[in-house]
Structures are given as C-alpha cells and as structure tokens.
Structure 1
Amino acid sequence: MVNTEDFTKRLHKIMEYHELSAASFADKIDVGRSSISHLLSGRNKPSLDFVMKIVSAFPDVELYWLLNGKGSFPKKEDNALAPVAQKQVSASQPQARDLFSNSDEVATAMAAGDSRKEIRRIVLFYSDGTFEAFEN
C-alpha cells in the first residue's frame, strides 16, 4: 500500500525539480487540476492511471521510487554498461522489429486473431521490479 503522505512529498520533489506549479504539473500529465489539489491535500489517494501518467510524462522518475521512496530520483542511467549490454543483445538475439511503424506488419502479426485489433501498449517487466512501457 502506498503511503499517501510520502507519495505527496515525492510529488512535490518532482514538481520542484522540474520547476512546475501544481497547475502546470497537472497539464503536463494530462489530469485535471483538481486531481493534483486533492492529492496534495491528502483528500484522495493516487490511482494507478495517475501514477502511470507521471512515469510516462517524466522519464527521470522511477516507478519504484515514486511508489515506495526506494531507488533514486532523478533516475540514474548506467551508461558504462550500455555498450556491453547492446553487444550481448545484438550477438545473442535477433533484432526486434518495430511493429508500430508499419501497419501492414501489425496486421500480418495479428493474422491469427482479430485484424481489427491494434497494439496500443507493450510493457516490459524486468527482474529488478522496474518496467518500461511503449505506446503507439
């Protein structure tokens, strides 16, 4: 369960870091300004949709940090390992295809199912508890 008071402190930290008022923060994550006001006052608890909008709008916010306060903000990238990891992926696995850029490929990939369906989001979950979401 998320501690609402601590969650609110982390929201303030994000807003201060990005130099945003509550109103501009609400606009940035595409929620009503009253939603932010109610969260900051402790009246409401954050919904999953609200949390996901923050993580999507601010790539430097780690989900685990936002929910539990563990981890870091802003997100620290380990660039020293990136080239090694990329070599390992490219050497051991075929390259991933971009299904979003070519609708014909999407239709072909979905031929076994209902071709009227469209992939809207792909979420990758990692063993360390983090994830990445890719939206069309």
Structure 2
Amino acid sequence: MVNSDQFGKRLQRIMDEYDLNATSFADEIEVGRSSISHILSGRNKPSLEFVMKIVSAFPEVELYWLLNGKGSFPKKTVEPIAAPKLPSNQLQADFESTTTIPSESLKKVLPGEPTDSIEESLAPVKQEAIERIVIFYKDGTFKNFVP
C-alpha cells in the first residue's frame, strides 16, 4: 500500500528536480491540475494510471522508488563503455577467411538438433580458439564474454 504522505514528498522531489510547479507537472504527465494538489496535500492517493504516467514521462524515476521510497532517484545508470571501431573491410576479411563447423562440435553445442540442417544453415566459423565474444546493443552498450 502506498503511503500518501510519503508519496507526496517524493512527487514534490521530482517536481523540484525538474524545476516544475504543480501546473506544469500536471501538463507534462497529462493529468488534471487538481490531481497534483490533492496528492501533494495527502487528500487523495495516486492511481496506478497516475503513477505510470509519471514513470513514462520521466524515465529517470524508478517505479519502486516512487511507490516505496526504496531505491534511488534519479536512476543510477552505468555508463556504457565505448565499443572499439573496426574498419568494415577488416570485418569482411575476417568473415571471408572462415571455414565450416565440424559436426561433432555442433552435437556438443546444440544437443538434440539434427546436425545436417544446422551445418547447412550456420555461417562458416574460424576453427581457431575463441578469444572473446562481444554482443553490441542498439543503445550503444555492449557485453564482453571471455571463455
């Protein structure tokens, strides 16, 4: 259950952080202006729709912090590490110099799968030991896996 008094204080903190008064905050999250003053005064409890509008309009607000006061505001984010830029011609050269995967390796990696169709559908891979695997995400972050 959300404590209305504490929720009002957290709501006020959000408004202060973004330098918004009750009117501009209400406009920002598209609710009636009286809703803000009623929640700030503790008269009304916030609805789920009201809470979700705040989280949607202000992504730095953690839902758990807003509801329970636990966590942090603004959200603490980990700075993504910049991925090294490789020339595209080097990537193409690496790809073209690959060979196929032996079927015994496929059986170890993908048990229960028919190896005939897997061998035909997988792109060729170098038969050297894997140094690391890097997965790049659209938001610019990546994960680095070292076997």
Q: TM-score range by the shorter chain?
A: 0.5 to 0.7
Aligned counterparts of 1:79 and 1:15: Cα–Cα separation in 2? 25
Q: Would you say 1:69 and 2:75 are equivalent positions?
A: no
CA 1:26–1:88: 2 relative to 1, 3 Å: same
Seq. identity, % = 68
Mapping of residues 81-120 of structure 1, within 5 Å: 87-88=134-135
Q: Does the aligned pair in 1 maintain the 2:62–2:73 contact within 8 Å?
A: yes
1:79 offset after TM fit, Å?
2.0
Change (3 A) 1:73 1:32: same
Q: 1:88 to 1:7 in 2, by over 3 A?
A: same
Partner of 1:28: 28
* Structure of greater Rg: 2
Q: Partners of 1:81 and 1:56 in 2: how far apart?
A: 26
Give the aligned CA root-mean-square deviation in angstroms.
2.0
CA 82–68 in structure 1, closer or farther in 2 if over 3 Å, else same: farther
C-alpha displacement of 1:88: 4.1
What is the aligned partner in structure 2 of residue 7 from structure 1? 7
Q: Which residue of 2 aligns with 1:56?
A: 56
* TM-score, length-scaled by structure 1: 0.59
Q: Which amino acid aligns with 2:26?
A: A
> Once the two structures are superposed, what CA deviation does each residue of 1:74-129 show, in whole Å capped at 9, x if it has no partner?
1111124797xxx4477xxxx9xxxxxxxxxxxxxxxxxxxxxxxxxxxxxxxxxx
- Give the direction of change, closer, same or farther, for the CA distance of 1:55–1:82 in structure 2 (3 Å limit): farther
Q: Shift in Å at residue 23 of structure 1? A: 0.6
Moved over 4 A (4+): 80-83
- TM-score normalised according to structure 2 size: 0.55
Number of aligned pairs? Answer: 88
Deviation at 1:41, TM superposition (A): 1.1
| 1:38 is aligned to 2:4 | no
